[in-house]
Amino acid sequence: MRNFIKQTFASLIGSLLGLFIFGGISTVGLFMLVFAAASTDSGPKVEDSSMLVFDLSTQITDGKPDTGLILQQAISGDYKKQMTLREVLDALEKARTDKRIVGVYLDARDASGAGSTGFATLKEIREALSKFRDTGKKVVAYGVGWGEKEYYLSSVADTVMVNPYGGMEINGLSSQPMFLAGALEKFGVGVQIVRVGKFKGAVEPLVLKQLSPENREQIQTLLDDLWGEWRGTVGKSRKMTPQQLQAIADSKGLLEPSEAKTNRLVDKVAYFDEVVTELKKLTKSDSDEKTFKQIDLDEYATLADKNISRNSDSEIAVVYAEGGIVDGDGDTGEVGGTRFAKIFRRLRQDKDVKAVVLRINSPGGSATASEIIQREIRLTRDVKPVVVSMGDTAASGGYWIATDSNRIFAEPNTVTGSIGVFGSIPNIQKLANDNGITWDSVKTGKYADIGTVTRPKSEAELAIFQSSVNRIYGKFLDKVAKGRNLPQSKVADIAQGRVWSGKAAKDIGLVDEIGGLDAAIKYAASEAKLGDKWELQEYPRASSFSERFFGKVAEETQAVFKTSKTSLQPNHPLTKEFEKLQAEIAVLQNMNDPLGVYARLPFNLIIE
């Protein structure tokens, strides 16, 4: 806690100092800004006949965002609205029965946030919107440039509208992994691989220049499953068959507004002011008003949060395992084995916590850290129910930590499985030698320098690493077989590092039930025999006050200073490729397993 406070305030002071130096404003002005942001937030107010506005540029996460970084994001120009999935679902549920709310407006004019959200998360939100619609209230969607993700969510609306100069991209899903082998070879960096599982392709970017046949097969199967779910779900809302949507994807790809309307993908082509006019009528707003009666979803969520309390001593804990699994405590956006083990120990010992829901959104990572977490989960299950909810991705180490739960829930478009392990062993001998650097070695044992990166490993050394990988893989298979009550032979067949969609995972026994976070929470309450008498608590803990405070300051800061950015825009093709490269490098940097063995998704899966 001491380090957290020190880092948070150091970050805050550094950010404010940066604004003072580079923004050219007074210190008094800075603190007035901070004070104003905190003091003027007297809480949102909802007028009768209001529209709930859901800005689709909002980034949806599982757990609470790190409040200590929000100001830094604002100053760098990277800050965007952020909400947790739980906040979105609670707000929509509250609005469903709130007589002051007459509808939801999905604002997709800037839908960049949807691009970073996975299909499983979008499906949960989509189902909440569908439930909202069932009450007779309206859902209206308006956008400029629709992609598959934005449209997947927005197609649930009663009315979908597009700007006359906008367009729609309906051309199917694709994944284009980046391969680094050629660059590593060029710069003289060698990589040796030990692995188990013919589908374990996490290492392929380091040693190949294109997809292996096995990796291509699993990606194709996965995309076919996700695309099939997309066509079925969207088609049901738009009263179209999957075949009709496939024909549009194959023959059109990019549709102009008029084509989108002709093909029944949108209902109207309209400018934003015309949309506002319609929303004024829906909300019974005065014609001379600048806009319609509304409240933003993130503001309304604070009201929803206040009104869902059940005032009970019995708690259901929701633990968000979001990000790569690493050894130790881990940083922001990582699942640290030591930190999450402590969380489960505390929940196990807390008599008020009657059940635990583990929400997993992780590609996996360190095998050792995965086992440390899994051990605590199994011990917790011996005391109280532990239910798993899989988000967008729960693969490899992410699936490892799910195996000993009472029940596993996943969406049909969750990416899961990848039961396999690998180790990558780099060396920089050629890079160093080409630049005049050499090493010599003195040692007291044959394998004393087995961990060096100054030379390739010998066959005998590779055999040692392979033995370790084989041992971990065997334990992984055994855990899945026992946890899922499956024969070892069947687990061996469906493992091999292969990834599956949630629907396929259920068919082969890796998942118990199709459903989202709400379904998992309801099941946990039922298993603990709590009825409706329980409170929800979320972990890792986050301060709601600091989140709202820093978040509001960040919005005000960004609005005032309009940080200039010389980098490429987020949707620029070069930006996307650069982000892929950053993601690959980040994976290498975060590989800190003490044994060098990893259970991780077999590539950085980016679906476009």
Which residues form the catalytic set?
Answer: 200, 396
Which residues, in sequence order, are bridge partners of residue 142?
107, 161
Structure tokens at 95: 């609005």
Residues 571-587: b if buried by 16+ CB within 10 A, e if exposed: eeeeeeeeebeeebeeb
Reported as half-sphere exposure (CB side, CA atoms, 13 A), residue 294 has a value of: 20
* Distance, CA of 102 to CA of 51 (rounded, Å): 6
Q: How far is CA 422 from CA 121, 373, 402, 470, 531, in A?
A: 29, 19, 20, 9, 44
Structure tokens at 356: 């635990």
* Distance, CA of 135 to CA of 156 (rounded, Å): 14
Instruction: Check if the beta carbon of residue 421 is closer than 8 Å to that of residue 195.
Output: yes
Structure tokens at 292: 């319609």
Structure tokens at 218: 């699993």
Question: Per-residue DSSP letters for 325-368?
Answer: EESSS--TTEEEHHHHHHHHHHHHH-TTEEEEEEEEEE-EEEHH
Instruction: Return the SS3 of 410.
Output: strand
Instruction: Check if the beta carbon of residue 398 is closer than 8 Å to that of residue 363.
Output: yes
Residue 365, sorted as left (phi over 0), alpha (psi -120 to 50) or beta, turns out to be left
Instruction: Check if the beta carbon of residue 349 is closer than 8 Å to that of residue 370.
Output: no
Phi, psi for residue 510 in degrees, rounded to 5: -85, -20
Q: How far is CA 69 from CA 2, 79, 371, in A?
A: 17, 10, 30
Instruction: Return the SS3 of 296.
Output: strand
Question: Per-residue DSSP letters for 356-376?
Answer: EEEEEEE-EEEHHHHHHHHHH
Q: How many H helices and E strands in the chain?
A: 24, 23
Structure tokens at 263: 């093909």
Tokens 């947790």, residue located: 84
Q: Strand ranges (DSSP E) for 149-213?
A: 159-170, 190-196
Cα 38 to its chain centre, rounded Å, is 29
Amino acid at 422: F
Return all residues near 539 (Cβ < 8 A) that are at least 6 apart: 317, 318, 319, 320, 343, 347
